[in-house]
Amino acid sequence: MKRTARWIGFLAVVVVGLALGLVYGWLINPTTYTDTEPSSLRADYRADWVLMTAAIYSQDGDLAAARARLDALGEGKALRHVQEAILASQELGYLRADLDLLAALAGALGTEP
């Protein structure tokens, strides 16, 4: 009986602590992000950004729009962002079809004047 009461007390404290933590984190002091830019993304998310840009480019063929999306990643040439994404995607184990999309975008950017 005494052991069961201790378990019930322990679980009650855990549930109350979890509830108070959620209320504090979601209602009292939630995290707000302001002025975040795609250039602040980690390398794996940058590779995802470039892959999504390559997928859109493969559908619409609009190289200027693809370049504008890649320019959101910050300083540097758009082709350089694609090359970095190809390297990161190989390390992350992207599918061959994804690598083909990235290669097609790199090829299009490489032939542009």
Same domain, 93 and 42: yes
Same domain, 22 and 57: no
Same domain, 97 and 47: yes
Cα–Cα dist 101/55, whole Å: 6
Same domain, 42 and 62: yes
Same domain, 68 and 20: no
Q: Range of 50's domain?
A: 38-111
Per-residue model confidence as pLDDT tens digits over 52-63: 999 999 999 999
Does the pLDDT value for residue 113 go beyond 70? no
Number of domain units in the chain: 2
Per-residue model confidence as pLDDT tens digits over 76-110: 788 999 999 999 999 999 999 999 999 999 999 98
Alpha helices in the chain (DSSP H): 2-23, 43-60, 63-71, 78-92, 96-111
Same domain, 28 and 42: no
Same domain, 47 and 85: yes
DSSP 92: H
More confident residue, 40 or 65: 65
